[in-house]
């Protein structure tokens, strides 16, 4: 494992909307920090809704209480059992962060993560949880050709295989859903970020420009709102200096 020299400085106070999943994640993290059983969490939902930012913000919020974050890429998931054993006896609490999680058929990483989520004959460590984000509710890619036909002689076994794939996300104890941002949610996020950036545009103009940005660029999402505010901040600063 390698340390991160410049971790993302995102803080919880910088994030807006999605209050219910945020509070659920905070509560579960508090369980971990207090030494109580905490659940593995799947953060599922629309792209750009702040799932990854929320997990990274936990580190900055709770690092002084011994929380540590280990980001594991897709290509390293087979090392998960070894990582867990390496940190099991340490005094800190660890979130294993897996971003943009999905699997192909017969993926060895699928089996490694399953061991960590469900355990084996070794007791599960109390200081480690997995927080994973995904845009897919069903994490293992499924194809129509895999759906068994009633005429198949191996119908029972085929359905067993399909159900194994579809139920993998159920192995996370807690699934938090991030719905696509509707217009009121998008405007709420824009106003929140604008206040933090100390943008003083009149609110009607701010909202109008934010809606135009969403239409012309990447749609309504927390990511689009952040990109809009960053662009607007630079634009206004340049106007003031000229």
Per-residue tens of pLDDT for the chain, all 242 residues = 889 889 899 999 999 889 999 999 999 999 999 999 999 999 988 888 899 999 999 999 999 999 999 999 888 888 888 999 999 999 999 999 999 887 665 567 777 787 778 766 667 889 999 999 988 655 555 444 444 555 555 544 544 544 455 556 777 889 999 998 999 999 999 999 999 999 989 999 999 999 999 999 889 999 999 999 999 999 999 988 87
Q: 94 phi and psi, to 5 degrees?
A: -125, 130
- 52 and 133 part of one domain: yes
Q: Which two tokens stand for residue 139?
A: 């994490």
**Coil, strand or helix: which one is 29?**
helix
Q: CA 33 to CA 29: how far, in whole Å?
A: 6
Q: CA 202 to CA 41: how far, in whole Å?
A: 40
Residue 3, domain member (yes or no) = no
8-state DSSP, 124: P
pLDDT at 120: 66
- 223 and 146 part of one domain: no
Examine the fold and report which residue of 154, 178, 202 is the final residue of a domain before the chain moves on: 178
Examine the fold and report which residue of 132, 160, 178 is the final residue of a domain before the chain moves on: 178
- 155 and 194 part of one domain: no
- 23 and 141 part of one domain: yes
Q: CA 183 to CA 211: how far, in whole Å?
A: 8
Residue 4, domain member (yes or no) = no
Q: CA 30 to CA 23: how far, in whole Å?
A: 10
Examine the fold and report which residue of 178, 197, 214 is the final residue of a domain before the chain moves on: 178
Residue 1, domain member (yes or no) = no
Rounded to 10 deg, the angle between the 183-196 and 203-216 helix axes is: 120
pLDDT at 75: 80
Domain coverage including residue 236: 183-241
The domain that holds 170 is classified in CATH as: 3.40.50.300
* Paired residues of 177 in beta bridges: 44
Q: Are 224 and 218 in contact (CB under 8 A)?
A: yes
Residue 135, domain member (yes or no) = yes
Q: Are 189 and 222 in contact (CB under 8 A)?
A: yes
Residue 6, domain member (yes or no) = no
Residue 144, domain member (yes or no) = yes
- 102 and 81 part of one domain: yes
Angle (nearest 5°) at CA 140 between 100 and 75: 50
**Coil, strand or helix: which one is 115?**
helix
Give the strand order in the sheet containing 128-134: 67-71, 93-98, 128-134, 41-45, 174-178
- The count of structural domains within the chain is 2
- 115 and 168 part of one domain: yes
**Coil, strand or helix: which one is 42?**
strand
Rounded to 10 deg, the angle between the 51-62 and 19-34 helix axes is: 40
- 188 and 146 part of one domain: no
- 33 and 147 part of one domain: yes
Quote the radius of gyration of the chain (alpha carbons, Å): 21
- 168 and 188 part of one domain: no
Residue 214, domain member (yes or no) = yes
- 116 and 234 part of one domain: no
Q: Which two tokens stand for residue 186?
A: 């998008």
- 131 and 218 part of one domain: no
- 169 and 214 part of one domain: no
């Amino acid at each position: 494992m390698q340390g991160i020299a410049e971790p993302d400085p995102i803080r919880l106070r910088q994030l807006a909307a999605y209050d219910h999943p945020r509070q659920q994640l905070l509560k579960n993290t508090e369980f971990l920090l207090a030494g109580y059983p905490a659940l593995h969490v799947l953060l599922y939902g629309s792209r750009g809704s702040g799932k990854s930012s929320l997990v990274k913000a936990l580190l900055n919020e709770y690092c002084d209480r011994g929380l540590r974050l280990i980001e594991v890429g897709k290509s390293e998931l087979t090392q998960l059992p070894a990582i867990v054993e390496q940190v099991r006896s340490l005094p800190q609490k660890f979130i294993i962060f897996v971003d943009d999680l999905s699997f192909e058929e017969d993926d060895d990483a699928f089996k490694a993560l399953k061991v960590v989520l469900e355990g084996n004959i070794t007791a599960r460590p109390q200081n480690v949880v997995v927080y994973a984000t995904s845009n897919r509710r069903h994490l293992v890619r499924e194809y129509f050709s895999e759906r068994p036909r009633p005429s198949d002689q191996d119908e029972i076994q085929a359905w067993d295989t399909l159900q194994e794939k579809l139920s993998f996300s159920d192995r996370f104890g807690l699934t938090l859903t991030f719905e696509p941002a509707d217009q009121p949610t998008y405007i709420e996020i824009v106003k929140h970020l604008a206040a933090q950036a100390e943008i003083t545009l009149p609110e009607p103009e701010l909202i109008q420009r934010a809606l135009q940005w969403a239409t012309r660029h990447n749609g309504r999402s927390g990511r689009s709102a952040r990109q809009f505010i960053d662009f607007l901040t630079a634009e206004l600063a340049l106007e003031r200096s000229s």
